[in-house]
Structure 1
């Protein structure tokens, strides 16, 4: 059995104050941080003990996880487990990355996002360069807002050609044909993000070979379907895994629609689904060379 787990604990604090994020500059009280640390330790123990399943883990905290030592430690320890194929975290890359020298670069990977106005491009690129030195796989992304376009172009030109730069359509924003074409020159796969996917009734890997897990062990099909289907720690998740059709009207987030079977995106991102790295990159269209 191969199972992808998207884990999200109680953590909701972030060191950035992006205007497009509802969790900007949120601070968690000490008791919530203790609860998050304990929940992650429990999850890490479960992963280590569940050796009959080939596991891949994506940490998707509401806030920034890598400023917390327990997420860094979990990434390192899980990367060395022989039954863990991949361990990934979504991060703004604000924290130093030298600790990844202790991780297995064949398993650890990062899904990083560049937030102009929160960090200088030079500082962000220095973190990326260090990841490349360490041999750690990573993707880089930006939110497709007009005020980010010049920075996104400069970032694409400065990144190594083999690093995929993805663009997320800004929530609630409509893109005309010219805008879509502009962003597509930077990210040839932008079209998958720019239009929400009508998902109701569509077959999906979620709930079959991919699940969402909360800090208390509650298992859901995905982050966007709140109905629980079991619990990680009482074993009920095993019987719950089966082919399913989506019960949500629209899916507009990459970590959700990448699992919709009709889209075939698991093939597009084969070998890099959780870290958002396409199987074939640089893209033949030339975006990776900075020609946008």
Structure 2
């Protein structure tokens, strides 16, 4: 079985205090951290276990908080990167952690989805870590939230990032872009139009629930993070019987980790080989690459 898993455990704390994030500077209790560690170690044991050798797995960790400042997330990425049946293991991160631990991971399998948050970390420190990832041969993308005050930072990043590193831009939640504003962001990220507007999804075919699932710390399996209907449990195997093609039940999908799996969008071709870590197949994607335009 080929299966992509988006894992999100109990962790909900972050070392940054971004004003647009509800988890900014939130502290988990020691008990919650212990629960998160136990849940992640259980998941890692399942994914690396002998029963999985007949499967092909891809895993993206999408914690509400910052995972890589916790040793158990670093260990999980290292361990899973060396499993022959794991094609990719990736995590969303603000890159505030050190990067030397990646020397123990398999660079052919591990990947980072990095976000730069201006005002939360010195620019040169962030850029140095990104360059270290490039020197180590670790697959990674770098992105920023498309707030008006971030435009100059994004332009500087694009000018100074290694040429092969994709710079993505997420449309800011609740922000409406004029065509002129959108053009400025699209000049930096040619795929920004996909993020600018929510995608109509009701009744449309989506890979979630068939080859892509969401898993929480208890092992509850859902089709994605945004649909609460349960498909079963990972650890008793009850989810397997529920895997099947199914249309999206929501009216719109406005998050990249959701709409990237819509079959009506060409994003599996655009990100071929790099869907989880958000790395396009072409080193410098252009609008001309896209076979279909996103619908507002």
* TM-score when normalising by structure 2: 0.95
Distance across 1 between alignment mates of 2:211 and 2:35: 28
The alignment status of 1:101 with 2:118, answered yes or no, reads no
Q: Structure 1: any 5+ residue segments left out of the alignment?
A: 287-292
Q: Number of matched residues? A: 286
Distance across 1 between alignment mates of 2:146 and 2:119: 14
Distance across 2 between alignment mates of 1:23 and 1:11: 10
- 1:284 shift after superposition: 5.0
Matched with 2:294 is none
Matched with 1:77 is 79
Q: 8 Å contact 2:58–2:87 — kept in the other structure? A: yes
- 1:92 shift after superposition: 0.1
- 1:283 shift after superposition: 2.8
- Deviations, residues 202-235 of structure 1 (Å, cap 9, x unaligned): 1000001100000000000000001111110010
Deviating runs (4+, > 3 A) in structure 1?
none
Alignment of 1:40-55 (within 5 A): 40-49=40-49, 50-55=52-57
Alignment of 1:140-151 (within 5 A): 140-151=142-153
Matched with 2:285 is 283
Distance across 1 between alignment mates of 2:20 and 2:108: 33
Give the alignment partner of residue 94 of structure 2, picking from 67, 74, 92: 92
Matched with 2:225 is 223
Give the alignment partner of residue 269 of structure 2, picking from 267, 271, 279: 267
- 1:265 shift after superposition: 0.8
- Deviations, residues 221-274 of structure 1 (Å, cap 9, x unaligned): 000001111110010111111111001111000000000000121111010000
Distance across 1 between alignment mates of 2:118 and 2:38: 33
Q: Structure 2: any 5+ residue segments left out of the alignment?
A: 289-296
Alignment of 1:1-292 (within 5 A): 1-49=1-49, 50-284=52-286
Q: CA RMSD in A?
A: 1.0
Distance across 1 between alignment mates of 2:229 and 2:286: 41
